[in-house]
Amino acid sequence: MAAGLLALLTGACALNAQTGIAVGAGVTVAVNDRDGDGMLDAAEVQALIAKVFPPDKLTGGFWDGMRASLTAAYWARDLDQDGKLSVAELAR
């Protein structure tokens, strides 16, 4: 899957950067959307961040800060303040 994703993103980025970002946002939602509503909720964002930066392996203040910063960055994109992140919000 990683090779296919890389090829997809590389091909999309060849079109333009915004297309690549939109594709990446779509893949992020598709892979991490556990309830199938097409958006990421708080639990799904938390699980995504924990998957990338596992708190049981990456411990200490630096990593706690990294996870907190990423969480804040995701929620800064929740433009309609509905507690869910759409593909369009992530792609902005």
CATH of residue 38's domain is: 1.10.238.10
Look up tokens 């990421």; give the residue.
Answer: 40
Judge whether 85 and 71 are in contact, CB under 8 Å.
no
Q: Label residue 9 by pLDDT band (50, 70, 90).
A: low
On the question of pLDDT at 1 being above 60, the answer is no
What are the phi and psi torsion angles at 79 (to 5°)?
-65, -35
Judge whether 59 and 39 are in contact, CB under 8 Å.
no
74 vs 18, higher pLDDT:
74
Judge whether 8 and 2 are in contact, CB under 8 Å.
no
Domain that holds residue 37: 2-91
Number of domains observed in the structure of the chain: 1
pTM of the entire predicted model: 0.76
**In the prediction, which pLDDT does 18 show?**
76
Indicate the residue type of 21. I
Write the pLDDT tens digit of every residue in 46-88: 999 999 999 999 999 999 999 999 999 999 999 999 999 999 9
